[in-house]
Structure 1
Amino acid sequence: MLGSRRLHPLFPRRNTSRYCKIYFSQPYARDTARKHSATRCRTSEPLSRPAGLRKRLCPPHAQPSSFPMVRKIVRRYLILARGKFLDDAKTAHGVIAYGQDEISAIVDASLAGKTVRGVLPHLQCDAPICESVREGLQYHPTSLLIGVAPQGGALPQAWRSEILHAMDAKLEIVSGLHELISEDEEFAKAARRSGTEIWDVRVPPTVPLFSGAVYDVRVPTLLTVGSDCAVGKMTVALELARSAQKRGVNATFVPTGQTGVLIAGWGICIDRVVSDFAAGAAEQMVLEAAPESELLIVEGQGSIHHPAYGAVTLALMYGCAPDALVLVVDPTARTIANFEVPALGYPELVTAYEIALAPVKPARVVGIALKTLGLDARQARYEIERAREESQLPCDDVVRFGADALYDSIASEVRRTRPRTAAVPA
């Protein structure tokens, strides 16, 4: 059973008076922060993060001045999501729902004049939605966040003028796209001209090859795995970490994707790391977080039977060496998105993940989290019950019904396991 002790905040509370130090990327941001207050979109309790974030894992302007002190920027985001905010802006939704930074406004002309709460009530945010970056500047942002993460990570061409306008206004540009803003000649010149910064979140640090040191970590590690991409693996990890914290367990969310890094303020985007080093990157994040934690909950990526991203999933599974898995499933899906690969049933998915880990470091699937978005309450409960019957595991939708019940059902099953080793002849 997991123990309890004093909690360490993962996300600084949104009241800026509680920060040890506040740093901004340029004078415009510093001056406007003194004069204005932005919409605050969450009041939930923070999670925990490792106290000693080393330089290689920190985003720009958040480097530790003397280990383990961390400099902290308070960003005020204007989020660019033109025509995509409702149903294709996973990064925007995650940062709004769970992030530590303030949300000034959203840019989406198709919803202009409305508020976030008016179109997506579950995000619990009253930020206005604007027609353009020019209009959004009246809300005094410090940074423009590219709020989408499309497959392939390309920047929509129609958005270039909005980004250039933000640069002219001296906003920092924050992007989680694979297409790096800092390597675009036009954007690089504009940033130098205006004296602003670009943070390409996906750019990984230098990491070593996998060493096996993760096998000596004494903290249990839980990894979320999925039936497909975009089924909620990050959200489930965050919600389970919050439930653990409420029960006095010092749980740390370990981010492995661009939205998770934006939320937590540290981490590595595993899908950008050269394949030989991807397992090493996952290992380094576990080694980083373990000393200050009692439980690590690692954000999963992709799916083991995804034809495009299965390799990323497997590298993460081997690199973080989990002791237990939580499977995240969209029960309405019949195929892998954008492919004709059939979706697997619950027993098949559980078996696939457990067999993949069994030769190296065994880990069991201890629970299933369902994404029932789009179903009514009756349908959602039917799908949860069906999953329980077919898998014989604890199942729930942690967004719709809360994560406490699922966490309580699996907590005692999250225990340290050992890697397989060859027998040494006598």
Structure 2
Amino acid sequence: MRVAILAHEQFPERAKTAVGVLRYGDQEVVAVLDRDRAGDSIREYLDEPRIPNAPIVAGVEDAPEFDALIVGIAPIGGGFEASWRPDVRGALERGCDVYAGLHYQLNEDEEFARLAAEHDCELVDVRDPPDDLTVSEARAREVDATVVLAVGTDCSTGKMTAAMELREAAREEGLDAAVVPTGQTGILIEGWGIAVDRTISDFTAGAVERMVQAVGDHDVVFVEGQGALAHPAYSAVTAGIVHGSMPEKLVLCHEAGRQAVHGYESFSLPPAEEYAALYERFADPVAESAVAAGMLNTSGIDDDQQAREAIESYAEAIDAPATDPIRFEASAVLDTLV
């Protein structure tokens, strides 16, 4: 499927859905929409061999032919910005499907629903959970696999990236590995999953449990985490994922240099060693779990040696091996997990 990705004024730093699809998706990305960077190319900002060197354009009218538009931004609160409407409208008028991972449901938008019907298009709201969810039965540990959960010190610290990179590293070692996608980006990449931050609170753990059981028996299952346990707004979804997945191992993700909660800067982040202990204490009554590895996003550090030193300090703080899976190798911590 040929896709264009909407990332206006956010690419790449604040368009994690766009970056995730570019990095891990099977879709053929023909353009990124960002009016601030129009005329540039994707590789000028994400210089990785696996990422296509497609153009950045100002709007859908400037994009090459495509089959679907993906909204590649998930702002705090999951709202729909009015400035995106012309591009969504334009995609539908071109006969293209539209995928979005917002709390704002495109199917409930009268204009979009009408245009989709007129042009035989599909509106796909990936943050639309199934209707038959139930409470957890606390049975995720029964799967014949090592369950590893990526958790974080904050939002946007690399939990989805950790899960994807660790799966690929495990497969390269000959292991049968799977990912459980719990958020909009993972769902767009994998083509299935439940966005647990839109489930009824009582059913969040049950939704995660269902997905862990659904992937079947593997050597290892990597569960994509959401939010953070001490986050002032998103701790509830994190708690549901921890208890629903009943992990044996935890991977603690953090961004180097981040000292306060993103978007809630009056709240300082606890030290990494305290955060690691907090996750272990919280998980323990349901399923004894250990922080067995760390992932540190060092994109804000220019020098490789300084990045390595930051990773070493982080590893010492959490008392577990650590790496930056994009800058270096996820395989550096694989042995402690599987």
Matching of residue 78 in structure 1 with residue 29 in structure 2 = no
Q: Which residue of 1 aligns with 2:269?
A: 343
Q: Partner of 2:317 in structure 1? A: 390
Q: Say which of 107, 116, 130 aligns to 1:191.
A: 116
SS in structure 2 at match of 1:236:
helix
30, 33, 52: which is aligned to 1:104? 30
Alpha-carbon distance in 2 for matches of 1:286, 1:82: 34
Aligned to 2:46: 120
Give deviations 1:97-124, integer Å, cap 9, x for gaps.
1101110111122222221112321363
- The one-letter amino acid of 2:52's match is C
Give the partner amino acid of 2:164.
L
Query: Number of residues paired by the alignment?
Result: 334
- Pairs within 5 Å for 1:15-414: 75-122=1-48, 124-136=51-63, 139-205=64-130, 206-291=132-217, 293-339=218-264, 340-376=266-302, 377-408=304-335, 410-411=336-337, 414=338
CA contact (8 A) 1:221 1:296 kept: yes
Rounded to whole Å, the distance in 1 between the matches of 2:316 and 2:14 is 33
What is the CA deviation profile of residues 146-205 of structure 1, one whole-angstrom value per residue up to 9, with x for unaligned ones? 110001011110111111111111100110111011111111111112121100011011
How far apart are 1:338 and its partner, in Å?
Answer: 1.8
Cα deviation, residue 388, structure 1: 2.5
Of the structure 1 ranges 248-257 and 328-337, higher mean CA displacement relative to structure 2 is found in 328-337
Distance 1:112 1:346 in 2: 39
Query: Which consecutive residues of structure 1, in runs of 5 or more, have no partner in the other structure?
Result: 1-74, 415-426
CA distance in 2, matches of 1:402, 1:98: 16
Percent identity between the aligned chains?
39
Q: Does the CA contact (< 8 Å) of 2:182 and 2:193 recur in 1?
A: yes
TM-score (norm 2): 0.96
Equivalent residues of 1:78, 1:105 under 8 A apart: yes
The 8 Å contact of residues 154 and 262 in structure 2, kept in 1 or not, is answered as yes
Any gaps of 5 or more consecutive residues in structure 2? none
Cα separation, 2, equivalents of 1:401 and 1:201? 31
- RMSD of Structure 2 on Structure 1 (CA): 1.2
Give CA-to-partner distance per residue, 1:226-254, whole Å, 9 cap, x none. 00000000001111111110111000011
TM-score normalised to the size of structure 1?
Answer: 0.76
Does the Cα contact within 8 Å between 2:141 and 2:247 map onto a contact in 1? no
Q: Aligned to 1:290, what secondary structure does the other structure show?
A: coil
Q: Output the CA distance in 1 between the equivalents of 2:267 and 2:41.
A: 38
What is the match of residue 27 of structure 1?
none
Which whole-Å deviations, capped at 9, do the CAs of 1:5-34 have from their partners, x for residues lacking one? xxxxxxxxxxxxxxxxxxxxxxxxxxxxxx
Q: Which runs of 4+ in 1 moved over 6 A?
A: none
The one-letter code matched in structure 1 to 2:144 is: R
Query: Contact conserved, 1:290 with 1:296, CA < 8 A, in 2?
Result: no
Per mean C-alpha deviation after superposition, the further-off stretch among 185-194 and 244-253 is 185-194
Whether the 8 Å contact between 1:79 and 1:147 is mirrored in structure 2 is yes
Find the aligned partners of 1:360 and 1:81 in 2 and give their Cα distance: 40
